[in-house]
Amino acid sequence: MSLSIILSMSTFALAASISPGPVNLVCLSSGTRHSIYKGMVFVTGATFGFIALFIAIGLGLYTALEMIPALNILLRWGGVIFLLYLSFKLAVFDGQLPENQSDKPPSFITGAMMQWLNPKAWLASASGIGAYTSGNDMQQVLIFSAIYLPICWLSLGSWVYAGAFLRRYINQPTILKTINRTLAILLVGSCFYLITE
């Protein structure tokens, strides 16, 4: 595989990973509400969940879903329900950040699961596999996955750090509440995309 293809794959992975989407919004919110360490646990789960999805699509899962429309519909509505749940959790956040935060941060499993219900992850995987690999070539898919993994982790992590920055400099409860409610509205908006797509 040539250096130009690897650089092209890297650019694609960066653009797809760092651009706003449901997972990125949860990373940002986690940074405003929890420690960076706890946010990075979610990021790690989301990254491994995405890589598992990416490899599965590279090995033909996307084709199988196209052949069984009922699974596609189930996945879509599962994504809508999950995103609405996360939106609710963001919307009810009261903006208070006590030392002993009782609110549970999003977990590793939540991150991994969210990618499988995330339309952006499916689109990025399918378009990346289609553009940079030929057919079901396992070696190409694994090389692309190895390139994608650190880029995805660092990109999602940057959203957690952005949230931590907001928390440090805008720590008034009303402002944090407004930020999280705005993020909740954006997540609900991504549900409309899922429903109308």
Residue-wise pLDDT for 29-53, tens only, equals: 888 888 899 999 999 999 999 999 9
Only one residue has tokens 């990346």, namely 128
Residue-wise pLDDT for 61-103, tens only, equals: 767 766 777 776 776 677 677 667 767 877 776 655 545 555 6
Percent of the chain scored above 90 by pLDDT?
Answer: 27
Q: Is the pLDDT of residue 159 over 80?
A: yes
Only one residue has tokens 């329900």, namely 81
Kindly report the number of other CB atoms within 10 A of residue 79's CB atom. 23
Nearest Cα to Cα of residue 17 among 55, 71, 54:
54
What is the pLDDT confidence band of residue 190, given thresholds at 50, 70 and 90?
low
Its pTM stands at: 0.76
The rounded Cα 47 to chain-centroid distance in angstroms is 8
> Would you state the pLDDT for residue 81?
77
Q: Is the pLDDT of residue 138 over 90?
A: no
Percent of the chain scored above 70 by pLDDT?
Answer: 83
> Would you state the pLDDT for residue 65?
67
The 3-class SS string of the chain reads CCHHHHHHHHHHHHHHHHCCCHHHHHHHHHHHHCCHHHHHHHHHHHHHHHHHHHHHHHCCHHHHHHHCHHHHHHHHHHHHHHHHHHHHHHHCCCCCCCCCCCCCCCCHHHHHHHHHCCHHHHHHHHHHHHHHCCCCCHHHHHHHHHHHHHHHHHHHHHHHHHHHHHHHHCCCHHHHHHHHHHHHHHHHHHHHHHHHC
> Would you state the pLDDT for residue 143?
93
> Would you state the pLDDT for residue 102?
53
> Would you state the pLDDT for residue 98?
47
> Would you state the pLDDT for residue 160?
95
> Would you state the pLDDT for residue 197?
58
The type of residue at 62 is: Y
